[in-house]
Amino acid sequence: MADAQCVCGRLRLTIRAPAQLVAVCHCLACQRRTGTTFSVNAFYAADGVEVLGIASEFIRVAESGRKVRMYFCPTCGSTVYWKPDADPAIVGVAVGALGNPNFPAPSLSVFEQYRHRWVTLAEEVERYPQGLIPEQ
Ligand SMILES: [Zn+2]
Ligand SMILES: [Zn+2]
């Protein structure tokens, strides 16, 4: 249905499920992880996502106290996917890794308190000052 990959192509995902949710996260961890001002994340049922290649794991403790396991390519450093301990049935995928400009727009935006003031989203996007479960 869709494929995601890191910038060098050694870490890939085959995705055989529709995205359940597309969300923007403005938290400082996402800003630092991505090197840009927000992340855009698609959530899939974990059993619909197959990982091809080798990933390194970085475990981050979210504000909720639960762990989020980030998986990135050890060669090029791109974060491609992640797993929240809070919900093992879900995998988050970096929308940028899908390389598809026609991918659906986000429907919600979390950690708005850290949003760079020049970042604007469509009127209909649901906004939350803090995070939601699963963490991003
Ligand atoms: Zn790579
Ligand atoms: Zn975040």
Q: What's the pLDDT at 45?
A: 97
Is 106 a domain residue?
yes
pTM above 0.75, yes or no: yes
The ranges of the chain with pLDDT < 50 are none
Quote the ligand 1 centre to 122 CA distance (angstroms). 32
What CATH number has the domain bearing residue 51?
2.170.150.70
Q: Which residues does 39 contact at the CB level (< 8 Å), separation at least 6?
A: 24, 25, 30, 31, 33, 94, 136
Is 79 a domain residue?
yes
Is 44 a domain residue?
yes
Is 132 a domain residue?
no
* Residue 62 and residue 69 in contact, taking contact as beta carbons nearer than 8 Å: no
Q: What's the pLDDT at 133?
A: 63
* Total number of domains in the chain: 1
Quote the ligand 1 centre to 114 CA distance (angstroms). 29
Is 59 a domain residue?
yes
Quote the ligand 1 centre to 88 CA distance (angstroms). 24
Domain range for 31 is 2-127
